Structure 1
Amino acid sequence: MEIVLWILIGLSVYIYVGYPILLKFLSIFIKKENQSSQDYRPTVSLFIAAYNEEKVIKEKIENALQLDYPEDLLEIIVVSDDSTDKTNQITQSFSEKYANVHLNIVKGRKGKTAALNKSVHLAKGDVLVFSDANSMYDEDALMALVKHFNDPSIGGVCGELRLLNSTNSSIGESEGAYWKYEKLLKQLETITGTSIVANGSIYALRKELFKPMNPNVGDDMQNPLIIISQGKRFIYEPNAIAREETSTESKEEFNRKVRIVTRSFTGIMHYAYVLNPFRNFDFFYKYMSHKFLRWLVAYYMIAIFLINLFLLDKSPYMVIFILQCAFYVLALMGIKWKTKLTYIPYYFCLVNYAALLGTVRAMSGKRQATWKPTSR
């Protein structure tokens, strides 16, 4: 039991601390250069996924039209997943005024991924950019993304999502800290070869590499795997910036994370063939460390606590047990009292409980292709 306990503790520490340290060490010896060019101007199709986004769709289309990119090289396609509010009417009003703005209504609401599957064939651009309706791009975001496609080894590029916590909510502050950690990982992964995740708010890929996706799995989870499986790199560009508001409610953020893990875990089961260490070891150890093993941390936490109960007759394990109890008490206090001392343990437990539910749902065969937008 002692051996198992220390293995689980070591694994948990590796996932959150050891992995970035390992990447930092590898980056001393491995540095992948990119042949990007600021002058490279491919034709671009910007897809904006929307379901009942009447509150933000006008601002989003205006934001897309104001991007610093030649108008004749950019088309904007709003993919409406059979919206029932004024999303379609608002978009249509822009289509009548601007020749490069188009609306594609996908009937029968099947979810974002299915809607994109049925829309990509409409794209005239050589580069596909995918965005959410509530994600506002900086003016030069598109230029920062597409410059990398000058390099034939690059198949996809993920931008930087910056969360705005205008309400100063503790859940928003925690989410912001999480994204800073994710940014570090993606930077180090890119330096050492390929990053393994995208963000649905802002990422791009070569149209020629696009393949139909599993509708039960998030597009931003699948597309990096599809790109990497074709021998291309998927990289991170920190200067391609999208901004959106953080969640203000813990319940809303929790449900979002359960949905993401459910779809992502379903996805990796669907794309298990990519996790072949003999085929691409760089991707294998990165995906296992960055995503797969992290989804299982809740199981490690439960096992550590239960095993620890059988070792309380030895003083070192009594200390470990007391530290665990103190951590969980702070997390419980964080439900009601959102302070800097409590919201980190609370958020840590929240996301791992969400991962627990998400993996259980995925393994039990539950699917979630559609959902309602978060309140804004």
Structure 2
Amino acid sequence: MIELLLWFFIVLIVYIYAGYPIVLKILAKLVKKPIQKDIHYTPKVTLFIAAYNEEKVIGSKLLNSVNLDYPKEQFEVIVVSDDSSDRTNEIVEEYSAAYPFVRLNVVKGRKGKTAALNKSVHLATGEVLVFSDANSMYKEDAIKSLVQYYADEQVGGVCGELRLLNSTGSSIGESEGAYWKYEKLLKELETATGTCIVANGSIYSLRNELFQEMNPNVGDDMQNPLIVIRQGKRFVYEPLAVTMEETSPHSKEEFGRKVRIVTRSFTGIMSYFPMLNPFSNFEFFFKYMSHKFLRWLVAYYMIAVFVLNLFLLDQLTYQVLFCLQLIFYSLAFLGKFTKTKITYIPYYFCLVNYAALKGTLRALTGKRQATWNPTSR
């Protein structure tokens, strides 16, 4: 029984990181889900920029936004300030004076990004809503690349591509970049087989008519794809709609960010738990369990493998397995201090899963995190 449990958890970990993309690749060859795109389609777009005390970057973000290659008569920018106390609001008002399509909406009584968006979306006149962060810089054609999919009535939302810039050369930045390449692969394969189930908060969009009020304790980028899918529409990924952000140079900061994300996301899926009924939407159930839910629990599987292995050390196979685990965790420990792929990849893997462990425990014990302070990422 101990051996069966041990190998069950090992196989589960392997499936989550390697088996799932392999299954998607096979399905992509068997299931064709084409999308009708129209590069000349230019609906009215409202770009929301969420901001809290972003005086360091909001000017650059607005300059980036007003220079996007999209018809200005079909474009508006709304900066949602979550009761910023620095110069953020003042800087936005300066841009509003120069560019009539730029507006500021200050949400009083700081409640967090999601709550602020809930109170701001009604101001949008666009058919398509695009959501972004203040530190995220779009490529010139990013909006055009997103909206071409809305020519297809089956598409309810579109996510773009986040590219991370590691200007400091930090090892945590290198690892984060590798993680996003893996996420890109999953989004491409999920889109090819029907619908993508996750977005990135820095660049995603949805039809205005599909927007519904969100749980303020849960990230908007986690909820909006689910809201779109729940209404019977596809949420898809476009790799040519590109935004760029700097990676975090500090592992402590990145760890805190991931704990917050998992706390809010795990809280979120409990709010949307009826969607995980495999009999109502098996595609969503399969993808969400494989891509997110089971992955959030990998730290628990790793602990189980380590503990169960201790009961089987009288056999050579399990002595070797235990030594391999010790080597892996030793390399992870060294990854905190050295910058080589053989150390920082195990370190990042353990960091991410420890953050998921902490985040799921926070969510299960009822802790919520609607607000947070800006970070370098």
> TM bucket by the smaller chain?
over 0.9
Query: In the alignment, is residue 11 of structure 1 matched against residue 12 of structure 2?
Result: yes
Structure 1 gap segments, 5+ residues each? none
1:105-116 pair list within 5 angstroms: 105-116=106-117
2:336 partner SS: helix
Amino acid at match of 1:94: Y
Aligned residue pairs total 376
Counterpart in the other structure of 2:247? 246
Deviation at 1:375, TM superposition (A): 3.2
Tell me the TM-score normalised to structure 2 length: 0.99
1:335 partner SS: coil
Deviation at 1:59, TM superposition (A): 0.5
Counterpart in the other structure of 2:23? 22
Query: In the alignment, is residue 291 of structure 1 matched against residue 280 of structure 2?
Result: no
Query: In the alignment, is residue 261 of structure 1 matched against residue 262 of structure 2?
Result: yes
1:258 partner SS: helix
What per-residue deviation string (whole Å, max 9, x for no partner) do you get for residues 14-65 of structure 1?
0000000000011111121001100111000000000000000001001000
2:198 partner SS: coil
Distance 1:223 1:26 in 2: 25
Counterpart in the other structure of 1:187? 188
What per-residue deviation string (whole Å, max 9, x for no partner) do you get for residues 148-187 of structure 1?
0000000000000000001111000000000000000000
Counterpart in the other structure of 1:348? 349
1:96 partner SS: helix
Distance 2:376 2:84 in 1: 16
Deviation at 1:290, TM superposition (A): 0.1
Contact 2:246–2:376 (8 Å) recurs in 1: no
1:72-91 pair list within 5 angstroms: 72-91=73-92
Instruction: Detail structure 1 runs of 4+ shifted over 4 Å in the superposition.
Output: none
Contact 2:247–2:376 (8 Å) recurs in 1: no
Amino acid at match of 1:289: S
Query: In the alignment, is residue 70 of structure 1 matched against residue 71 of structure 2?
Result: yes
Distance 2:278 2:162 in 1: 30
Counterpart in the other structure of 2:305? 304
What per-residue deviation string (whole Å, max 9, x for no partner) do you get for residues 108-153 of structure 1?
0000000000000000000000000000000000000000000000
Distance 2:339 2:83 in 1: 39
Which deviates more, 205-214 or 273-282? 273-282
1:298-337 pair list within 5 angstroms: 298-337=299-338
Counterpart in the other structure of 1:278? 279
Distance 2:41 2:282 in 1: 31
Counterpart in the other structure of 2:223? 222
1:101-140 pair list within 5 angstroms: 101-140=102-141
Deviation at 1:338, TM superposition (A): 2.3
Distance 1:79 1:97 in 2: 18
Distance 1:241 1:234 in 2: 17
Structure 2 gap segments, 5+ residues each? none
Amino acid at match of 1:233: R
Distance 2:376 2:38 in 1: 39
Amino acid at match of 2:34: E
1:20-59 pair list within 5 angstroms: 20-59=21-60
2:186 partner SS: helix
Distance 1:338 1:206 in 2: 44
Tell me the TM-score normalised to structure 1 length: 0.99
Contact 2:173–2:247 (8 Å) recurs in 1: yes
What per-residue deviation string (whole Å, max 9, x for no partner) do you get for residues 56-81 of structure 1?
00010010001100000000000000
Distance 2:67 2:281 in 1: 40
Deviation at 1:96, TM superposition (A): 1.0
